[in-house]
């Protein structure tokens, strides 16, 4: 039988292949190498970029950064596996020039250089801007929950702690009652030593829970995670409650490149519009025109501040409507606001004057009496008084709603949501492996950098991108 035969393992070659021949000329790993070599790691703030004249020589931060970008491009985040790849993977041997750091060195680099890695992401966005790959004409902002390394079982709310304390106190009272009964009886089968041991354990556990509850009360917090205190318990769509972080992305619509990102502890998005827009505007060097988000970002104060920076904001309203009946009732839009009189004119021509303020809801309230005598009451209210609310930032909310056209909302979804889908595939199916907010942010930044690099390779090709980097 005729089969292809490999080379004998003990046969020597007169001219052995060089390491350079391990990787093809159009292999993506060459892009990783060229991009990192173009960076000034000392200026970006990487640890150990400047070396001392004494002591053991450290690894160059650029080499470890190359290793991590390659790892996330290939969905590998385990530092122990990366240590093995440095010895057996030909592409990694080429990229690292046969350097083989241990897993602890690799892990410490990611943990200690979170801010510097984010600056690298910003540097790559500037490169994309110069290459004409981002425009700033339309940037979509959205958030998604990423699970923390900690287990959900380690997260507790203040209410759960109070419930656990109540159950422990009930058990302690039951044991104390059993001991009291045994003292009154001459003969009993109760093993007092075991009961005392169990009682001591329960009292010690009670003291621990009381300490945790006291910390929450002092810090005015509502929850804690025992193994990862910075992770938060938050809602995550179909998955229900998860322990993790809220990742924010600002994605340019031209080629779906992430121009900025952040990992936050906020459970909702309604405080993220202004900081994310400001960061995206800085990344685009002030060339941001329009920001579009979903209704989760509907915050009048933040929208108004963003408008004042000159950025057009498109955010659908997230407010209730008069939904009684079959749509024949007057909505708030049917009432005309008169700024000179600070009053509303109703469809019947009557004025609703300013009555009071609800500061918690940030609302002005307007009303009039005598609605029972109005011929249009059946389409307005069942009471004798109709109330209309006006938000402190009503005009900003109204303009943002008008800008949130169906076409823009469809484009928002097609721009930012696929980005999160790809990032969750790159980042262990949406489960971060680093402990703590700082380290988790560093891991997320590496995922965003790898995503952007992969997108540009798909757009320009390896040789085209190498030409621009050169």
DSSP letter at 374? -
d(CA 315, CA 295) in angstroms, rounded, equals: 6
The answer to whether residues 258 and 251 touch, using CB atoms and an 8 Å cutoff, is yes
pLDDT for 184 equals 65
Q: Is residue 10 part of a domain?
A: no
With cut-offs at 50, 70 and 90, classify the pLDDT of residue 187: low
pLDDT by residue (tens digit) across 381-419? Answer: 888 888 888 888 888 888 898 899 999 999 999 999 999
From residue 281, give the alpha-carbon distance in Å to each of 284, 305, 372.
Answer: 5, 14, 53
Question: Which of left, alpha, beta for 16 (phi over 0: left; psi -120 to 50: alpha)?
Answer: beta
pLDDT by residue (tens digit) across 209-240? Answer: 888 788 777 777 778 888 888 888 888 877 78
Q: Is residue 54 part of a domain?
A: yes
Tell me, yes or no, whether 285 and 347 share the same domain: no
pLDDT for 170 equals 83
Tell me, yes or no, whether 281 and 374 share the same domain: no
Tell me, yes or no, whether 140 and 279 share the same domain: yes
Tell me, yes or no, whether 311 and 253 share the same domain: yes
pLDDT for 191 equals 66
CATH number of the domain enclosing 249: 3.30.420
pLDDT for 324 equals 53
The answer to whether residues 35 and 469 touch, using CB atoms and an 8 Å cutoff, is yes
pLDDT for 166 equals 83
d(CA 225, CA 245) in angstroms, rounded, equals: 12
State the average pLDDT over residues 161-180. Answer: 80
State the average pLDDT over residues 86-105. Answer: 92
Per-chain mean pLDDT for the chain: 87
pLDDT for 326 equals 44
Please, which residues bridge with residue 250 across strands?
Answer: 141, 260
User: Which backbone phi and psi does 271 adopt, to 5 degrees?
Assistant: -115, 15
DSSP letter at 315? -
Give residue 96's Cα distance to chain centre.
31
* 12-21, 96-105, 269-278, 428-437: least confidently modelled range: 12-21
pLDDT for 411 equals 94
Q: Is residue 117 part of a domain?
A: no
The answer to whether residues 452 and 258 touch, using CB atoms and an 8 Å cutoff, is yes
Q: State the pairing for strand pair 155-157/223-225.
A: antiparallel
Q: Is the pLDDT of residue 178 over 80?
A: no
With cut-offs at 50, 70 and 90, classify the pLDDT of residue 14: low
Residue 147 token pair? 């699970």
Q: Could you give the angle at which helices 437-460 and 103-112 cross, rounded to 10 degrees?
A: 90
From residue 244, give the alpha-carbon distance in Å to each of 155, 208, 228, 373.
Answer: 10, 24, 9, 56
Q: Is residue 372 part of a domain?
A: yes
With cut-offs at 50, 70 and 90, classify the pLDDT of residue 139: very high
Domain that holds residue 208: 154-225
Q: Is residue 11 part of a domain?
A: no
Q: Is residue 456 part of a domain?
A: no
From residue 398, give the alpha-carbon distance in Å to each of 62, 317, 319, 468.
Answer: 49, 8, 11, 44
Question: Which of left, alpha, beta for 349 (phi over 0: left; psi -120 to 50: alpha)?
Answer: left
* 56-60, 214-218, 294-298, 361-365: least confidently modelled range: 214-218
State the average pLDDT over residues 79-93. Answer: 93
pLDDT for 227 equals 86
Q: Is residue 357 part of a domain?
A: yes
Q: Is the pLDDT of residue 327 over 70?
A: no
Q: Is the pLDDT of residue 3 over 50?
A: yes
pLDDT for 274 equals 94
Residue 23 token pair? 């990787």
User: Which backbone phi and psi does 183 adopt, to 5 degrees?
Assistant: -70, -25
H and E: helices and strands count for the chain: 14, 13
Tell me, yes or no, whether 253 and 299 share the same domain: yes
What value does the CA radius of gyration of the chain take, rounded to a whole number of Å? 31
| Planar angle of CA 42, 463, 114, nearest 5 degrees | 30
User: Is residue 242 packed enough to be buried (19+ CB in 10 Å), middle (13-18) or exposed (0-12)?
Assistant: buried
Q: Is the pLDDT of residue 325 over 50?
A: no
Residue indicated by tokens 């690894």: 59
State the average pLDDT over residues 124-141. Answer: 93
By C-alpha distance, which of 117, 112, 125 is closest to 65? 117
Tell me, yes or no, whether 45 and 134 share the same domain: no
- What's the pTM value of the predicted model, to 2 decimals? 0.85
Tell me, yes or no, whether 60 and 167 share the same domain: no
Q: State the pairing for strand pair 312-314/290-292.
A: parallel
With cut-offs at 50, 70 and 90, classify the pLDDT of residue 196: confident
Tell me, yes or no, whether 162 and 298 share the same domain: no
By C-alpha distance, which of 70, 146, 81 is closest to 107? 81
Residue 57 token pair? 């020589």
Q: Is the pLDDT of residue 323 over 70?
A: no
Tell me, yes or no, whether 170 and 234 share the same domain: no
pLDDT top residue among 247 and 2? 247
Instruction: Decide which of 176, 201, 225 is a domain's last residue.
Output: 225
By C-alpha distance, which of 379, 383, 384 is closest to 324? 379
pLDDT for 43 equals 92
Total tally of structural domains belonging to the chain: 4
Tell me, yes or no, whether 183 and 293 share the same domain: no
d(CA 400, CA 417) in angstroms, rounded, equals: 21
Q: Is residue 384 part of a domain?
A: yes
Tell me, yes or no, whether 218 and 261 share the same domain: no
The answer to whether residues 111 and 40 touch, using CB atoms and an 8 Å cutoff, is no
Q: Is the pLDDT of residue 15 over 80?
A: no
Tell me, yes or no, whether 282 and 417 share the same domain: yes
With cut-offs at 50, 70 and 90, classify the pLDDT of residue 322: low
pLDDT for 10 equals 80
């Amino acid at each position: 039988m005729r089969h292809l035969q490999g080379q004998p393992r003990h046969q020597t070659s007169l001219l052995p292949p060089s390491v350079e021949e391990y990787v093809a000329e159009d292999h993506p790993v060459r892009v990783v190498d060229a991009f990192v070599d173009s960076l000034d790691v000392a200026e970006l703030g990487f640890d150990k970029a400047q070396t001392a004249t004494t002591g053991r020589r450290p690894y160059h931060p650029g080499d470890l950064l190359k290793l991590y970008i390659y790892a996330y491009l290939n969905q590998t985040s385990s530092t122990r596996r990366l240590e093995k790849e440095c010895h057996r993977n030909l592409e990694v041997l080429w990229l690292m020039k046969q350097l083989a750091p241990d897993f602890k060195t690799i892990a410490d680099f990611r943990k200690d250089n979170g801010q510097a890695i984010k600056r690298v992401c910003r540097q790559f966005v500037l490169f994309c801007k110069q290459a004409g790959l981002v425009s700033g004409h339309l940037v979509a902002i959205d958030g998604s929950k990423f699970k923390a390394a900690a287990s959900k079982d380690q997260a507790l709310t203040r209410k759960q702690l109070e419930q656990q304390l109540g159950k422990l106190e009930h058990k302690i009272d039951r044991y104390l009652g059993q001991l009291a009964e045994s003292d009154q009886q001459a003969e009993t089968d109760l093993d007092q030593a075991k009961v005392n041991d169990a009682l001591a354990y329960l009292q010690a556990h009670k003291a621990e829970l009381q300490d945790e509850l006291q910390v929450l009360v002092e810090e005015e917090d509502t929850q804690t995670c025992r193994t990862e205190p910075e992770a938060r318990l938050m809602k995550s769509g179909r998955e229900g409650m998860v322990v993790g972080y809220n990742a924010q992305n600002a994605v340019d619509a031209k080629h779906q490149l992430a121009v900025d990102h952040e990992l936050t502890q906020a459970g909702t998005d309604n405080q993220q519009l202004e900081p994310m827009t400001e960061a995206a505007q800085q990344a685009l060097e002030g060339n941001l025109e329009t920001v579009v988000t979903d209704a989760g970002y509907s915050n009048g104060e933040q929208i108004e501040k963003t408008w004042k920076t000159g950025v057009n904001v498109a955010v659908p309203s997230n407010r209730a409507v008069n939904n009684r009946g079959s749509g024949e009732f007057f909505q708030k839009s049917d009432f005309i606001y008169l700024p000179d009189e600070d009053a509303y004119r109703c469809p019947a021509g009557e004025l609703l004057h300013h009555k009071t303020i609800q500061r918690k809801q940030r609302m002005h309230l307007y009303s009039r009496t005598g609605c029972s005598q109005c011929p249009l009451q059946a389409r307005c209210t069942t009471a004798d008084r109709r109330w209309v609310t006006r938000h402190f930032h009503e005009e900003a909310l109204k303009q943002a709603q008008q800008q949130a056209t169906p076409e823009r909302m469809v484009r928002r979804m097609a721009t930012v949501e696929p980005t999160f889908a790809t990032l969750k595939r790159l980042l262990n199916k949406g489960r971060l492996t680093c402990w703590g907010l700082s380290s988790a942010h560093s891991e997320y930044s590496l995922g965003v950098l790898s995503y952007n690099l992969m997108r540009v390779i798909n757009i320009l090709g390896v040789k085209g991108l190498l030409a621009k980097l050169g």
